[in-house]
Structure 1
């Protein structure tokens, strides 16, 4: 996991090898309802929109998520791009960030396993207070979320 800052935007990158085929990885991550399975339970993450299809460009998904203990917020994302078995991108339309752009990339390895890479670019509201919140809280929270996700995916796909 790596964080960088550039032009007031933070970028988090992660990578994980999954012991499943590219098609199996795509099937799991292309289903928006699986996001709840890999999000820490204490966040109370819940999809509030109807999900009747796999991810597609233009799809709007609404959530409720705990951003602070006892404080839930609505979050609206749009799937802006999808290339089957390769990548998809979701972007925040309304929510806690000033900007949120999340790229999900999938690569098949010669041994049949799949490399999953995430690149999240985000901007925090509230100027200098937002940057302070990044150092004190947001970076830790995102680290916890993606560590939980990593361990959950290890348990689901790599402990066989």
Structure 2
């Protein structure tokens, strides 16, 4: 299985505390996920919850026309106001490891996402990556960048 990496960075003009408050609230994932994914958090009782190591979150997502996947992730590591990691336990990827880093910078907070992922189905997975998955992930993170820029009062450049 080939492992692919997606890395994104964004500086938000907010405090580290405000960034952590937003990103450590699992329900905020709905706000930064494109509507066309038909993303739905299935785990109940997350209202007011903050993430913690071992937290399991179940979703339903439809990344391709009419195809629905159940997706289960675990928050495997959390170091408050520094980083957290979510890892797929069950879902559409053969491997998913998403690191979120938070770093205070002069203009606010730098958010760094590093996603290492692999696809099932060998050669067919490689073709799917080239034709669909790579651009879909780019779309998701472009959307996230845009929404966060609007949410925290900066214009997209």
TM class by shorter-chain length? over 0.9
Instruction: State the partner residue of 1:67.
Output: 63
Match of 2:12 among 2, 9, 18: 18
Instruction: State the partner residue of 1:136.
Output: 131
Does the Cα contact within 8 Å between 2:41 and 2:59 map onto a contact in 1? yes
- Please list every run of at least 4 consecutive aligned residues from structure 1 whose deviation after the TM superposition is greater than 3 angstroms: none
- After superposition, the C-alpha distances for 1:7-34 in whole angstroms (9 at most, x for unaligned) are 7100000000001100000000000000
Query: What does 1:4-153 align with in structure 2 at a 5 Å threshold?
Result: 8-50=2-44, 51-52=46-47, 53-111=49-107, 113-153=108-148
Q: Distance in 1 between matches of 2:33 and 2:148?
A: 11
CA RMSD in angstroms comes to: 1.2
TM-score by length of 1: 0.92
Unaligned runs of 5+ in 1: 1-6
- After superposition, the C-alpha distances for 1:53-93 in whole angstroms (9 at most, x for unaligned) are 20100000000011211111100000000000000000000
Unaligned runs of 5+ in 2: none
**How many residues are aligned here?**
153
Q: Distance in 2 between matches of 1:44 and 1:18?
A: 27
- CA drift at 1:158: 2.9
